[in-house]
Amino acid sequence: MRGRKSKRAKRQEFEQMQAPSLGGVQVPRGNGQTVVRLRHGSSLNDFADKIDANPASLVTVLFHLGEMATANQSLDEDTFATLGTELGYQVEMVSAEEEDRELLGSFSIDLDAELEAESDEDLTARPPVVTVMGHVDHGKTKLLDAIRSTDVVAGEAGGITQHIGAYQVRTVHEGVDRAITFIDTPGHEAFTAMRARGAQVTDIAILVVAADDGVMPQTIEALNHAQAAGVPIVVAVNKVDKEGANPAKIRQQLTEYNLVAEEYGGDTMFVDVSAKQRIGIDELLEAVLLTADAALDLRANPNKDARGVAIEANLDKGRGAVATVLVQSGTLRIGDAVVAGTAHGRVRAMFDEHGVVVPEAGPARPVQVLGLTSVPSAGDTFIVAPDDRTARQIAEKREAAERAALLAKRRKRISLEDFTQALAQGKVETLNLVIKGDVSGAVEALEDALLKIDVGEEVELRVIHRGVGAITQNDVNLATVDNAIILGFNVKFAERVEELADREGVDVRFYSVIYQAIDDVEAALKGMLKPEYEEAQLGTAEVREVFRSSKFGNIAGSLVRSGTIVRNSKARVLRNGKVVGDNLTIESLKRFKDDATEVREGYECGIGLGSFNDLQIDDVIETFEMREKPRN
């Protein structure tokens, strides 16, 4: 007896483990604590792999949870969490950063271990990297120009100073020749964009405040960003040459934001400058170095493969992909195999900001690099890989991971309930865009401008992908999946991609003027707007008599009071001015014994309103139709 019972109990237990309640399929279950780690962009196939299940059965389970997905479709975190909970697993999604770390780890590149292994002897002092921020028109650009022109090396090199996204100047500080690196894109937008991508480039921020204008909204924004990033601030009180300049007032104002000048007992250095007349520039550089030395321990190991960040990149007609990278540690050399984001290649040539060839670049040195096969994005980290093959493989894996993550993000999660709901509510319409341009600046400018188009709430505009370079097969594929339109700004199709776009019916538009692109998109959005309808009254009839018919329902013997009563038009019934029946249709209409399609004002007729039988003498039947409202 006992033996039999326990056997049955065991079987029940086993069945419970094997068969989830949903769909009655067999899936190995976890105990609620079992952890499954998945990369972002994973599919049911990947999940099935981890728990040793049949992917098809996971599709079934998910279906019973109200989600439809194919086995190799990328799913988002929430979906996996729901599925995991149902099956007794704790699903942990690996972040893009962690994933990239793991990816590099699989190529035996462990950046954390590398840093940890560095001892004091390995580290040498490196120049600070500075970003200039502040309110518009307070003189950021002018100040960057002034600083650039103080550089003695620039004069000696004789090269024309080019804008490559960053430059280095040298200055003598306490008898020592020191370098400072400046990021040549003023403003906190670039700073924040890079930080959003996980790249902390800036060591010190120069906050420019015009002495004749004072603290303004972007001044506060900039200092908030710097403080949030834990970056020390040096204040440049600019335009002191101007009449009405009041440097003391700036110091006063900024105390409210925890920037207390040294002369007031604080620890922030304020320097009065005139970018225009080049006054106080040396003092400003001095203040930057003093702040760096006091607040930061800026050291890096120059004796290893280079690691850093891409600051700016574009596609040059003659030279191919050109990227300005800031080396953060190690030394970059011509011939190195590099990966920057999803771009890879071998360093073919390197130039400094004067267009002079540099054979190697150490920590905090910005250089323009030629030789990448594609254009990285600003803020992409770059590393030197052991060889070309590894560099290529890392780039390819990153690209695949990025694509998968993008797909997962884009998948519209509509459960069966949501779906009917969304239908009932009149679903939100989305215009998806892919933007490609010749330089990242143009792409960003276009995207910014497009996202500012105001078309009301019914239509949503989404940029699902943006990038620099020709329109590729990948772009067209993305557009196909998501019904997107591709905007090409000063770029063309890559080879053989045009046929693909044609075949897939993807709309690709080319522009060389930003405003044209914006106009077109705006028009497209207006065209896409769902038509708005308004009610147009057709006619009214007064009920004079009610004929009861068990066969046809009640018939209202009526007199048409205004307009025309049209068969099959929409109707409502009013009694003493109140609606007593709505959403009705004139289902039958008769003149005497004959069917009529319409009956005009002043004539009598019999009206049948289908199943609506609550008719009384003196009710008013109002008929109308919905007409599309023109938009302006």
Contact positions toward ligand GDP, by CB under 6 A?
Answer: 134, 136-142, 186, 238-239, 241-242, 274-276
Q: What is the DSSP code string of 4-45?
A: HHHHHHHHHHHHHHH--SSTT---PPP-S-EEEEEETT-BHH
Crossing angle (nearest 10°) for helices 140-150 and 281-295: 90
Q: How far is the CB of 135 from ligand GDP (least distance, A)?
A: 7
Contact present, 269 and 181 (Cβ < 8 Å): no
CA distance linking residue 158 with residue 304, whole number of Å: 31
Q: Which is nearer to ligand GDP, 140 or 344 (CB)?
A: 140
Q: How far is the CB of 309 from ligand GDP (least distance, A)?
A: 23
CA distance linking residue 334 with residue 444, whole number of Å: 31
Q: Which is nearer to ligand GDP, 241 or 522 (CB)?
A: 241
Q: How far is the CB of 280 from ligand GDP (least distance, A)?
A: 9
CA distance linking residue 368 with residue 179, whole number of Å: 18
Q: How far is the CB of 273 from ligand GDP (least distance, A)?
A: 7
In the block, which residue shows the tokens 């405040």?
Answer: 209
Contact present, 470 and 436 (Cβ < 8 Å): yes
Q: Which is nearer to ligand GDP, 287 or 464 (CB)?
A: 287
Q: How far is the CB of 269 from ligand GDP (least distance, A)?
A: 18
Which DSSP symbol is given to 180?
E
Q: Which is nearer to ligand GDP, 61 or 233 (CB)?
A: 233
Q: Which is nearer to ligand GDP, 147 or 323 (CB)?
A: 147
Q: Which is nearer to ligand GDP, 211 or 607 (CB)?
A: 211
Q: What is the DSSP code string of 77-140?
A: HHHHHHHHHHHTEEEEEEPHHHHHHHHHHTTT--HHHHHHH--GGG-EE---EEEEEESTTSSH
Closest CA to 369 of 386, 385, 357, 354: 357
Q: What is the DSSP code string of 457-479?
A: SSEEEEEEEEEESSBPHHHHHHH
Q: Which is nearer to ligand GDP, 151 or 272 (CB)?
A: 272
Q: How far is the CB of 162 from ligand GDP (least distance, A)?
A: 18
Q: Which residue is nearest to ligand GDP (CB)?
A: 139
Q: Which is nearer to ligand GDP, 135 or 465 (CB)?
A: 135
Q: Which is nearer to ligand GDP, 278 or 427 (CB)?
A: 278
Q: How far is the CB of 131 from ligand GDP (least distance, A)?
A: 13
Q: Which is nearer to ligand GDP, 143 or 435 (CB)?
A: 143
Q: What are phi and psi of 165, to 5 degrees?
A: 110, -20
Relative to beta strand 532-547, strand 555-566 is: antiparallel
Contact present, 621 and 558 (Cβ < 8 Å): yes
Q: Which is nearer to ligand GDP, 281 or 406 (CB)?
A: 281
Q: Which is nearer to ligand GDP, 235 or 431 (CB)?
A: 235
Torsion region of 420: left, alpha or beta (phi above 0 gives left; psi -120 to 50 gives alpha)? alpha
Q: Which is nearer to ligand GDP, 272 or 475 (CB)?
A: 272
Give the containing element (helix H, strand E) for 295: helix 281-295
Task: Give the contacts of 452 (CB within 8 A, at least 6 positions apart).
Answer: none
Q: How far is the CB of 334 from ligand GDP (least distance, A)?
A: 35
For the record, the structure tokens of 242 come out as 């101007």
Report the first-to-last Cα separation within the chain, whole angstroms.
84
For the record, the structure tokens of 440 come out as 């990242």
Q: How far is the CB of 204 from ligand GDP (least distance, A)?
A: 18
Closest CA to 62 of 473, 479, 416, 325: 416
List residues bridging with 497 in a β-sheet.
none
CA distance linking residue 621 with residue 632, whole number of Å: 34
Q: How far is the CB of 142 from ligand GDP (least distance, A)?
A: 3
Closest CA to 511 of 487, 493, 475, 484: 487
Q: How far is the CB of 202 from ligand GDP (least distance, A)?
A: 17
Q: Which is nearer to ligand GDP, 197 or 239 (CB)?
A: 239
Task: Give the contacts of 550 (CB within 8 A, at least 6 positions apart).
Answer: none
Q: Which is nearer to ligand GDP, 76 or 213 (CB)?
A: 213
CA distance linking residue 401 with residue 409, whole number of Å: 12
Closest CA to 232 of 363, 129, 362: 129
Instruction: Find the angle CA(485)-CA(488)-CA(491) to the nearest 5 degrees.
Output: 155
Q: How far is the CB of 138 from ligand GDP (least distance, A)?
A: 5
CA distance linking residue 502 with residue 505, whole number of Å: 5
In the block, which residue shows the tokens 């959003």?
Answer: 196
Q: How far is the CB of 514 from ligand GDP (least distance, A)?
A: 20
Q: How far is the CB of 134 from ligand GDP (least distance, A)?
A: 6
Contact present, 520 and 565 (Cβ < 8 Å): no
Q: How far is the CB of 236 from ligand GDP (least distance, A)?
A: 9
Give the containing element (helix H, strand E) for 524: helix 514-528
